[in-house]
Structure 1
């Protein structure tokens, strides 16, 4: 059996990746320091003989005994609330953590896939965003700690690929949603659903004409899986190209939840990207991949998941002031 290390295993995407590789017949080693991850996301895996877990911070030296065929590096705060609260840790996991895992991949002769992000494009001047676009990023702005960590991550990964001949893959992840997201992480979907479930008005920043493109988690995981097993080393966008304005999306949430909340408007946070839409031509050509789950179907599943949360979990998700946070 092939053996794979997945960092950030207790997080939203990481836990779904653990499920995917277990289902595909791999032995999975999960690793997470639980600074933003939650063991409840992987509790169902602990009884599986093909799953093992290490509670560890990848910013420190990483050792895994035995064979490793693949590494997926998904350890990183990924929400605005997280990386604004723990900026130094965000920078360290993208730099020191990536360096440690590239070294481990070299030692084990393993192929490594690095989770990058659409945030490397910043507030883009090119639309939709292609992998050839270098981005428009404020290196010293509030979200620079995340954007630059990911940009450095890509640079050091390609350096290991070119200098050491390491087998590397880079996925640029666009907005992804689905079960196991945290209601209080500041991203637009859980923020809107959380407000609706608590009976609050929905907060939209600016005029609400900024756009996002939402990819359901099963599609995202499928794209990552295909990229890992491909022969392509350059970055690949994985996301859903169907674009919607934040204002229109807020109205969709109100309709989905059957609530009568209003939309309230607040000033646009600094460096909030006005457009976010992936060009997935490369993924279609190289991986034969494109998303299959439409937003109405995916949002229904996601809303049902959030509705199943307890009243205590809903209260914990409440934020009195979202204006300091940039909703991705």
Structure 2
């Protein structure tokens, strides 16, 4: 019997690489997309660092989320697709549509091709950013029922791109008559073992802390979740009959400030203690600095905001199990030390 084929977009991505590992371990064949086939060796190295030695069920195809070409070829013969890739955000943009439009287009290219190829289900990796932004005076944990309010002031284009691209996906499915199903996974900050020097912006936070680049931390609270648990939630969202048409917050339900994160690292890695920050920059000072520095605007837009989340839906509906936020943060740091990144 031939193995079920799963398409995973953007195979060199942090979340994507861990999803591919889980799929191969569970006996699926995987076809992953890369912007350039030059990336294939990097992906194999990452998977090998994750413990995978047999690549006979893994294939690669060139496809770019900024172009419609090749997506039909990507989806041919597949049963499922998981879509963690997103056009890389440029934080130094002139017009916010540079971030928003490619994210929407990329999702629609994937869904159109999946529909035409009669796939069973697509799992879209959305984000916590599609849930929490623009809510004022929040006092109860965010859930999957929440959507970011884009009419509010000061929302960063990255959060807008995640919200509008997920909305576009649900709108597409509502109109589609091929029988294609959709589930989304909306992770909070994703931690856990990096498999190479190619990793997500959440992880750069840990690198900057350990190397002493971050002298003071902003007043930003966040949930944190292990990438291996995020990968397992994607597989549950892909196969569970209950997951069709549903969103799932990938969170442990815990919330840490950035100073908490620095303190976790200080306790776990005492050799790095002298480099770790102990002071917090007041939010009004941060917002002022962000006016002059566009790279700080995303952080400034979430500083001082309520960030509690609930893991109830994924754990009760799908039986999802996850580790602790603290262990995920420590695993990120340990992998960076092991790989010589810090």
CA spacing shift, 1:183–1:195, aligned 2, 3 Å: farther
1:271 is paired with a residue of what secondary structure?
A: helix
Q: TM-score, normalising length from structure 2? A: 0.77
Superposition pairs for residues 1-328 of structure 1, below 5 Å? 1-33=3-35, 40-43=42-45, 44=48, 48-61=55-68, 62-64=71-73, 66-76=76-86, 82-85=89-92, 90-110=99-119, 111-120=121-130, 121-125=132-136, 126=138, 127-137=140-150, 141=154, 143-144=156-157, 146-165=158-177, 166-180=180-194, 186-187=201-202, 189-196=203-210, 198-200=211-213, 202-205=215-218, 208=219, 210-231=220-241, 232-258=244-270, 259-261=273-275, 262-266=277-281, 267-268=286-287, 269=297, 270-272=300-302, 274-291=305-322, 293-310=323-340, 313-314=341-342
More helix by share: 2
CA-CA distance at 1:308 after TM superposition = 2.2
2:91 is paired with a residue of what secondary structure?
A: helix
**Number of residues paired by the alignment?**
300
What residue is the counterpart of 2:294 in the other structure? none
The 8 Å contact of residues 12 and 198 in structure 2, kept in 1 or not, is answered as no
The 8 Å contact of residues 11 and 17 in structure 2, kept in 1 or not, is answered as yes
Unmatched runs of 5 consecutive residues or more in structure 1: 315-328
Distance 2:268 2:40 in 1: 27
Deviations 1:181-239 (A, max 9, x none): 7688553x53244332x34554301xx3x321111111111111111112331222121
The 8 Å contact of residues 10 and 39 in structure 1, kept in 2 or not, is answered as no
Q: Please, which moves more after superposition, 120-129 or 99-108? A: 120-129
CA-CA distance at 1:156 after TM superposition = 2.3
CA spacing shift, 1:10–1:244, aligned 2, 3 Å: same
Unmatched runs of 5 consecutive residues or more in structure 2: 288-296
Deviations 1:158-191 (A, max 9, x none): 223222242111111111111227688553x532
Q: TM-score, normalising length from structure 1? A: 0.80
CA spacing shift, 1:298–1:194, aligned 2, 3 Å: same
Distance 2:59 2:334 in 1: 30
CA-CA distance at 1:55 after TM superposition = 3.1
The 8 Å contact of residues 193 and 253 in structure 1, kept in 2 or not, is answered as no
